Amino acid sequence: MPPSSSHSVAPPQRQRWLSVLAKAPSERLETLWQTLGVAPSYTLLRRPEIGLVMVQGRISGSGAPFAAGEMTVTRAAIRLDSGEVGIGYVGGRHPRQAELIATIDALGQRPEWQDAIEQQIVTPLEQEADARRTMRAAKAAATKVDFFTVAREGGA
Amino acid sequence: MYVAVKGGETAIAHSLDLLADRRRGARDLPELTLDQIDQQLSLAVDRVMTEGSCYDRTLAALAIKQARGDLFEAVFLLRAYRTTLPRFGHSLPIDTSRMVADRRISSTFKDVPGGQVLGPTFDYTHRLLDFSLMTGDERPTAPTAPVDTAQELPRVGDILEREGMLEPPPPADAGAPTQDITRDPLTFPAARAVRLQNLARGDEGFLLALGYSTQRGYGNNHPFVGEVRYGSVPVGFVPEELGFAIEIAEIDVTECDMVNQFAGSHDVPPQFTRGYGLAFGHSERKAMSMALVDRALRADELSEGVTSPAQDEEFVLAHSDSVEASGFVQHLKLPHYVDFQSELVVVRTLREEVEARRRRSTPVSAFGQAAE
């Protein structure tokens, strides 16, 4: 696997969109991609492949790592005809999503596409993920215990 | 001894057909969907992922459906499937302080930072059958309360640790790869990381019974729940093509940090020690049992003396795996015709010898024979 041919994108930027795209629901990503309305031609460097990643935990949450158990992961890599190489990794078995992420990753390395991808795909997905997280946390927050102390007679 | 036995092909084929027939059940009922199993039998899915040692909700739901709800069989199916896949690598260690927690309780501190969040739990139900579930009525959604998702959830252990009252966990050994029993066979004595991996995929019932045995006095380790938390954490991974970390998923895990009284030893002052449990999904009983057994298995390290089953790592680690245990017990159903014939011959010969010896030593009389 050759390294990405593009140096125009800083790693933190790619890191961000690759993470957002990986955690998005497959169907939602597909819909946003269709809305973007672009069909770049590319070659598959690595056709979507399902495999395993060993998830590590830490002893007592903060100590030495240990192998906690595996998870399924799908990965893919593509090269645009214009030369940019994109990769996609996604937890679960989602061949189409991995290929789509790789395509968006490659396209994101072309400056003229960066704004559209950011505004029409990455930002909406991130906001939706935040909303899901907030809803989940809000339901948990409603179960938080409010302790109260019953005042004893004599105010002791 | 195993000997190839021929015949029975048709019977086996028809047995598989009958199995599929029973799996489907009455045809006038709608067939279960994987989404229904995932959403409405989610704790079964969590257990199968944990003991199958493979996080994939859809596959675990499929395994449960295929196994007709037999969770041991479902674990076996998931384990078999994972052997067909290549390994892409290790994740970065998950950081449970970044968890979006559905539940987080401590039984050691009432006013723990972040609060006691009960979440979805059976603990406060009265264990009365709810007959309203017999109908398909609309169920109300849960209430919400204002929340700050950016806030991290500090660990109870860290608070005690700062005071020196609690032992810190063993630090990471920089550069040393994490041992992995799916790659290298289990050997004894096992490192703590190896024991934890074994326990994480071990059978919940077995670990529950062992944990319970420590509470009843077989290797008592005076436990308190430092904390139990359940929720969603991101999984970081460094793809070989990139060289920097990305998040590839968010997974649900349950964590238990068990705090145990410790009188001290020759080298260590009196302090609290810890056992740790981590499981996929919402698997609280499993994480707590694992933490109790993890602590019990540290008996040797803490100079406590190994006197009980839960402290004996060879006993615990060699018998914790439900796939191995179920396989070895159930293989007894396979044809053992030849073994049994040979044993029959042995027992017959022995009986003849005993009989012959008795005839030689006892004078045969009509009375003697009638008395037998």
Q: Are residues B183 and B274 in the same domain?
A: yes
Which of A108, A104, A79 has the alpha carbon at shortest distance from A4?
A79
Residue B264 confidence class, pLDDT cut points 50, 70, 90: confident
Residue B372 inside a domain? The answer is no
Q: Per-residue pLDDT for B113 more than 60?
A: yes
Q: In chain B, whose CA is at the least distance from the CA of A10?
A: B244
* B114 and B210 fall within a common domain: yes
Pick among B49, B88, B139 to test the A interface (most A CBs inside 10 A): B88
User: Is the per-residue pLDDT at B4 higher than 80?
Assistant: no
Question: B208 exposed, middle or buried (CB, 10 Å; 0-12, 13-18, 19+)?
Answer: middle
- Which residues from chain B sit within 8 angstroms of residue A26, using beta carbons? none
Is position A16 within any domain?
no
Structure tokens at B294: 């993890």
pLDDT digits (tens, 9 = 90+) for A9-31: 778 899 999 999 999 999 999 99
CB-CB contact of A116 with A36 (8 Å) = yes
Q: Is residue B262 part of a domain?
A: yes
Is B229 within a domain? yes
Q: What is the mean pLDDT of residues A42-55?
A: 98
Helix (H), strand (E) counts: chain A? 5, 3
Q: Do B40 and B164 reside in the same domain of the chain? A: no
Each residue's pLDDT tens digit, B358-368: 999 876 555 54
Tokens of A48: 């979507």
d(CA B219, CA B321): 22
Query: Is A72 in the B-facing interface, judged by CB distances under 8 Å?
Result: yes
pLDDT score, position B364 = 56
Q: Do A53 and B89 touch (CB under 8 A)?
A: yes
Q: Looking at residue B368, what is its pLDDT?
A: 47
- Residue A6: predicted pLDDT: 46
Q: How many domains does chain B have?
A: 2
**pLDDT for res A3:** 43
Q: How many domains does chain A have?
A: 1
Q: Is the pLDDT of residue B263 over 80?
A: no
A70 in Cβ contact with A54 (< 8 Å): yes
- The residue of A13, A29, A55, A79 whose CB has the most chain B CBs within 10 angstroms, and thus the best one to mutate to test that interface, is A55
Determine what percent of chain B is predicted with pLDDT higher than 70: 96
- The verdict on residue A11 lying in a domain is no
Give the C-alpha distances (Å, rounded to integers) separating B67 from B30, B31, B45, B202. Answer: 18, 14, 12, 19
Residue A148 lies in a domain: no
ipTM (interface pTM): 0.91
| Same domain? B203 vs B159 | yes
Across the A:B interface, residue pairs with CB atoms under 8 Å apart total 252
Mean pLDDT along residues A43-61? 97
pLDDT by residue (tens digit) across B37-74? 999 999 999 999 999 999 999 999 999 999 999 999 99
B201 and B68 housed in the same domain: no
Q: Does A1 touch chain B if contact means CB atoms closer than 8 Å?
A: yes
B246-262 sheet: strands from edge to edge: B100-105, B223-237, B246-262, B271-280
- Looking at every residue in chain B, the average pLDDT score rounds to 91
pLDDT in tens, B310-368: 999 999 999 999 999 999 999 999 888 888 899 999 999 999 999 999 999 876 555 54
* B204 and B302 assigned to the same domain: yes
Please report the residues numbered 10 through 69 in chain B whose beta carbons come closer than 8 angstroms to any beta carbon of chain A: 49-50, 53-56, 58-59
Phi-psi region of A82 (alpha: psi -120 to 50; beta: other; left: phi over 0): alpha
Same domain (yes/no): B162, B311: yes
Same domain, B59 and B160: no
A4 touches chain B (CB under 8 A): yes
Full residue range of the structural domain in which residue B16 is found: 9-82
Q: Is there a single domain that holds both residue B103 and residue B49?
A: no
The predicted structure's pLDDT at residue B193 = 96
A18 located within any domain:
no
Give the pLDDT band of residue B213 (cuts 50, 70, 90): very high
Structure tokens at A2: 């050759």
The letter for the amino acid at B232 is S
For residue B91, which residues of chain A lie inside 8 Å, CB to CB? 53-56, 71
Query: For residue B10, what are its two tokens?
Result: 């048709």
Q: Which residue has the higher pLDDT, A137 or B5?
A: A137
Q: Is the pLDDT of residue A7 over 80?
A: no
Contact yes or no for B210/B292 (Cβ under 8 A): yes
Domain span including residue A101: 24-139
Residues B63 and B109 in one domain: no
Q: Are residues B55 and B110 in the same domain?
A: no
Please state, in angstroms and rounded to a whole number, the distance separating the CA atoms of residues B341 and B98: 62
- Lowest-confidence segment of A50-54, A149-153, B198-202, B366-370 by average pLDDT: B366-370
Please provide residue B182's backbone torsions phi and psi, each rounded to the nearest 5 degrees: -80, -10
Nearest chain B CA: its distance from A73 CA (Å): 8
B63: Cβ contacts below 8 Å, ≥ 6 apart: B48, B52, B73, B74, B75, B77, B78, B81
| pLDDT for the residue B151 | 78
Scanning B309-338 for CB atoms below 8 A from A yields none
Average pLDDT estimate for A65-79: 98
Q: Do B94 and A58 touch (CB under 8 A)?
A: yes
Nearest CB to A71 within list B97, B245, B249: B249
Q: Is A8 within a domain?
A: no
Which residues have CB under 8 Å from B318's CB, separation 6+?
Answer: B186
Q: Is the distance from CB of B86 to CB of B206 less than 8 angstroms?
A: no
**HSE-up (13 A, CA, CB side) for residue B89:** 16
- pLDDT above 90 covers a percentage of chain A that reads 84
Instruction: Give the 3-state secondary structure of B305-329.
Output: CCCCHHHCHHHHHHHCCHHHHHHHH
Residue with the larger pLDDT of the pair B63 and B267: B63
Nearest Cα to B314, choosing from B151, B186, B139, B144? Answer: B186
Per DSSP (E only), the strands in B129-270 are: 223-237, 246-262
Using 50, 70 and 90 to split pLDDT, how confident is the model at B3? low
B84-108 residue pLDDT tens:
999 999 999 999 999 999 999 999 8
Instruction: Evaluate whether residue B87 is within a structural domain.
Output: no
Q: How many Cβ atoms from other residues are within 10 Å of residue B307's Cβ?
A: 11
Closest Cα to residue A60, out of B87, B259, B308, B304? B259
**Does residue B283 lie within any of the structural domains?**
yes
pLDDT of residue A4: 45
Task: For strands A65-80 and A42-58, give the pairing.
Answer: antiparallel
Q: Which residues of B touch A25 (CB under 8 A)?
A: none
Q: Is B225 exposed, middle or buried (0-12, 13-18, 19+ CB in 10 A)?
A: middle
Listed range (A139-143, B90-94, B252-256, B270-274) with the worst mean pLDDT: B270-274
Q: Is B152 in the A-facing interface, judged by CB distances under 8 Å?
A: no
Task: Please tell me the predicted confidence (pLDDT) of residue B136.
Answer: 82
Same domain, B62 and B104: no
User: Is A131 an 8 Å CB contact of chain B?
Assistant: no
Report the chain A residue with the minimal C-alpha distance to residue B50.
A69
CA dist B277 and A68 (Å) reads 10
Higher pLDDT, residue B292 or B159: B292
In a domain, B363, yes or no: no
pLDDT of residue B361: 86
